[in-house]
Amino acid sequence: MAPAGDREGYWGPTTSTLDWCEENYAVTWYIAEFWNTVSNLIMIIPPIFGAIHSVRGGLEKRYIASYLALTVVGMGSWCFHMTLKYEMQLLDELPMIYSCCIFVYCMFECFKTKNSVNYHLLFTLILFSLIVTTVYLKVKEPVFHQVMYGMLVFTLVVRSIYIVTWVYPWLRGLGYTSLGVFLLGFLLWNIDNIFCDSLSLYTRTLYLRYRPKVKFLFGIWPVILFEPLRKQ
């Protein structure tokens, strides 16, 4: 993980408790982490279409809420990586907790026979969200948020395995493929955090060594990514 405040741009000094491996303001003065920002479009646009499709299909509100929650997470993550401000970090991290609570509710309510509300589960998840929010605002410790988020994800994974193993076995391939992709992303995320300095130095060295060939094969984008770094 990169140290906070390695470069300053349009949004001023970094105030977030996290600053990721991507170089700050390397592409544009207006976006702190360009690629971490624009990649959030995959969490903003498709869920909007999913919510619209759910409304048109007459699905229960919990499914619509799930799609919209994912969109909110994407928008919060966009603002966080664009500005690296603490307030925008909260706009990213707290909706991650809330959206996962919605997902947990949906996963445990997917077998009910009528349109009803599980008030006990709903109260438990709301209470969990309030406790996590209160504690996190006080301690401001990213590891605490990651552990709480991990607990929710673990619950979703266990529930999903149960569903594709015992209830809908014909979805087993899709379920395990999804789990594999998720675990691969988690692995890459940890590699990026742990070996950030080594990976950054390695990619810069490779680029400088093969700069003419890279420009010939891939055009201007590698130049936008690495040319500002070469001057440091």
pLDDT tens, 134-186? 999 999 999 999 999 999 999 999 999 999 888 888 988 988 998 999 999 89
Say whether pLDDT at 73 is over 80: yes
Distance CA 125, CA 15 (A): 30
* pLDDT exceeds 90 at position 197: no
Residues 78 and 189 in one domain: yes
Residue 8, pLDDT score: 74
Both 159 and 171 in a single domain? yes
Measured CA to CA, the distance from residue 84 to residue 13 in angstroms comes to: 8
What integer pLDDT is reported at residue 211 of this predicted model? 56
Q: Is the pLDDT reported for residue 96 higher than 90?
A: yes
For residue 167, being part of any structural domain is answered with yes
Domain residue limits at 133: 34-194
Other beta carbons within 10 angstroms of residue 98's beta carbon come to 19
185 occurs within a structural domain: yes
Q: What is the pTM of this model?
A: 0.82
Residues 177 and 103 in one domain: yes
Residue 3 has pLDDT above 50, yes or no: no
CB of 93 closer than 8 Å to CB of 150: no
Q: Indicate the number of domains in the chain.
A: 2
Whether 11 is in a domain gets the answer no
In a shared domain, residues 165 and 109: yes
The candidate with the shortest Cα–Cα distance to 86, out of 173, 5, 181, 150, is 5
Q: Assess if residue 13 is contained within a domain.
A: no
Residues 144 and 210 in one domain: no
Q: Are 200 and 190 found together in one domain?
A: no
Residue 18 domain-assigned? no
**Which comes out higher in pLDDT, residue 23 or 209?**
23
Q: Which value, to the nearest 10 degrees, does the dihedral of the CA atoms of residues 97, 179, 80, 31 take?
A: -170
Specify if 21 maps to a domain: no
Looking at the fold, whether 200 and 180 belong to one and the same domain comes out as: no
Determine the pLDDT at residue 4. Answer: 43
**Helix then strand then coil, % of the chain, to nearest 5:** 75, 0, 25
Same domain, 133 and 224: no
Q: How far apart are CA 29 and CA 95, in angstroms?
A: 27
Position 131 scores a pLDDT of 97
When pLDDT is cut at 50, 70 and 90, the band that residue 60 belongs to is confident
Could you tell me the CA-to-CA distances from 87 to 18, 30, 38, 94, 186 in Å, in that order?
A: 12, 17, 19, 11, 25
